[in-house]
Amino acid sequence: MEQTNTKFLPVSKADMAERGWEEYDFLLITGDAYVDHPSFGSAIISRLLEREGYRVAVLAQPDWRRPQSFTALGRPRLGVLISSGNIDSMVAHYTVAKKRRHDDAYSPGNRAGLRPDHAVVVYANRVREVFRDIPVIIGGLEASLRRFAHYDYWDDKVRRGVLFDSQADLLVYGMGERATKEIAARLASGTPVSDIRDVKGTAYIAKGPAECVYPKVEVASYEAVCADKRSYAEANMAEYREHDPIVGRAILQRHGGDLLVVNPPAMPLTTAELDAVAELPYVREPHPMYDALGGVPAIEEVRFSVAHNRGCFGACNFCSLAFHQGRIVSARSHESVIREVTALTKHAGFKGYIHDVGGPTANFRRPACQKQMKAGLCKNRACLSPEACPNLDADHTDYLMLLRKLREIPGVKKVFIRSGIRYDFMMRDKSGEFCAELVKHHISGQLKVAPEHCVNGVLDYMGKPHIEVYEKFRQKYERLNQKYEKEQYLVPYLMSSHPGCTLEDAVRLAEWLNASGRQPEQVQDFYPTPGTLSTCMYYTGIDPRTMQQVFVPTDPHDKAMQRALMQWKRPEKRALVQEALRRAHREDLIGYGKGCLLRPNGGAPYAHRSGEKPAGRGKGGVGAKGRPSDRPDKRGKGDAPAGDGRPAPKRKAGWAAPKPKKNTRPGRGKKKL
């Protein structure tokens, strides 16, 4: 995997002239900066087409306000491929409170505003304007999640399938390598794009159902799902269940006089195919045109990381992975991953640390069970929640062997795992060997896991395991840290305001945190992203799995109270927490007892009545500063509790909180929070 002689793909006519190109085959437009790294979908597709012999030029973040920006490289011979980038453009632009973000890690210099809202639609319309009848194929996460009629949180309405607004000819959903390769071959052979109707993993607009060559099912029309929320929920559940490459059917959805046809999903790549994609000749860096602009921050998280798998059978209801990458896991070979890590050791900036060997879920290396590859995915149950399926294959030996091999590569000092670990899956591994080696070798100070909540009813709506599983894991993690004399902390990701979470449930979460001696510095409010089951619950008030009504916190003030309860010690949250406790009739938590959240004396956190001994202080420490993150694909990294200014007592291994420095300045009683 020697990269020194690798060139970036052309981004200008000068680059094309240097290669001796008078014309090129495909123009790839992306809403991200041009980063030629396998963690960027646009880089994968462009390098894949290059390997197939096509000439590909890259147009990154064109100025959508100027049509001539889209003609800067001339007209391609075969077609235009369009993606908004690695995340939905609306998530990139707005917080969960619908406030404009001030930065964008996928843009040069972390600068926001370099792509439009609904980027796929805007880019495709501009291409139609300047190139007229050229084949336009849209793909990437934004197009994938918006392929059907879908609720859009930012517009607060149901939008049409993105093909209709974009005027594109084809939509590629999922990871896209198989479909893109086949579409390119058909176009190169002279097949009109209007005749490409049978490629799995694609969608198109038809005049009637006869154009669909696969077994099919029709869901409620766009007009019906706009008018009736029950119809929306039924359609969403059908779309989710048919996302199965083994037995999934094509889905038809009428939009007025036209018919959206979504073909069955493409099969996941085999190990050999995944190896080949991972080892395409990427430069593995942002294009040098961004150097003077401050580079592209997103590369820092992945430069020395390795993705070894795809897909996730965890199937959390709020996560877009199940509807994009799918629930069948595929993985690379040990040899391929070893070659990539060995190449990284030769990088000029490598310091001996592999930051991550992971993927959507780090400790998945195979399908959940062999039945999946023969009979498809189970329609009416999840693999891990509310309890693990008896057929689940939880053997971690293969992943463990891979990590051991990577640790032995010359030049590698440490191999860390920083992407998601499913602790419930790990607890099903009877040997316990992986968990022990994880603690001994692969944690960089903190292990981040996602219990999300402590109330089992809420966890059921989330599609997460019950809290007892997390508690058992936490205890095991503490024991192992003590056994190996490690001071490593456990960082639990938690979510407020998910459908099904009442104010009373939020209070119970605060009580659980208080009893645990924790308070998150950064918390996640539920973010309704297109296509997920949780977003369906948010919009319809119906759980699409059962068609039963579900409580949904939508009022901004109610959501703010739920969020504040998770950070009850913060002085600025006091009024909200006090209001929440009174609304929930939990005034018993305002007082001086050990389990109380608030002290009643004028807002002073640890004030006591005259002549009364003050109550014992909790285990809070001083929190690190940080802006809360509410991107569903990138949460905040800090999880240290806030305190009253006094040094925190020493914690047992297993709980995340950096030790605060003692206040040594004379005459100062409290640290500034």
Binding residues: 312, 316, 319
Q: Are 146 and 530 in contact (CB under 8 A)?
A: yes
Listing DSSP states for 175-231 in one string gives S-HHHHHHHHHHHHTT--GGG----TTEEEEESSGGG--S-EEEE--HHHHHH-HHH
Q: Yes or no: say if 162 and 143 are a contact pair by the CB < 8 Å rule.
A: yes
CA pair distance 658, 517, nearest whole angstrom: 14
Burial group, residue 206, by CB count within 10 angstroms (0-12, 13-18, 19+)? middle
d(Cα 331, Cα 93) in Å, to the nearest integer? 32
DSSP class per residue in 42-63: HHHHHHHHHHTT--EEEEES--
Taking the C-alpha atoms of residue 313 and residue 368, their distance in angstroms, rounded to an integer, is 7
d(CA 567, CA 634): 20
Cα distance from N-terminal residue to C-terminal residue, the chain: 48
Contact present, 58 and 26 (Cβ < 8 Å): no
Residue 249's region, left for phi above 0, alpha for psi from -120 to 50, else beta, is beta
Q: What is the dihedral of CA 28, 34, 38, 39, to 10 degrees?
A: -110
Which among 433, 302, 413, 277 is positioned nearest to 363, based on CA atoms? 433
**414 Cβ contact partners less than 8 Å away, ≥ 6 residues apart:** 352, 353, 354, 441, 442, 444
Q: Which amino acid is at 219?
A: V
Binding residues for [4Fe-4S] cluster: 312, 316, 319
Cβ atoms of 36 and 283 closer than 8 Å: yes
| Residue 359 Rama label (left phi>0; alpha psi -120 to 50; beta) | left
Give the separation between CA 91 and CA 100, rounded to whole angstroms: 10
Residues found in the chain: 673
Q: Is 284 exposed, middle or buried (0-12, 13-18, 19+ CB in 10 A)?
A: buried
Residue 378 in 3-state DSSP? coil
Tokens describing residue 237:
């559940």
Task: Give the number of other CB atoms < 10 A from CB of residue 546.
Answer: 10
Q: Mapping DSSP to helix (H, G, I), strand (E, B) and coil, where does residue 121 land?
A: helix
Closest CA to 280 of 578, 47, 598, 5: 47
Q: How far apart are CA 214 and CA 207, in angstroms?
A: 16
The residue assigned the tokens 């018993």 is: 588
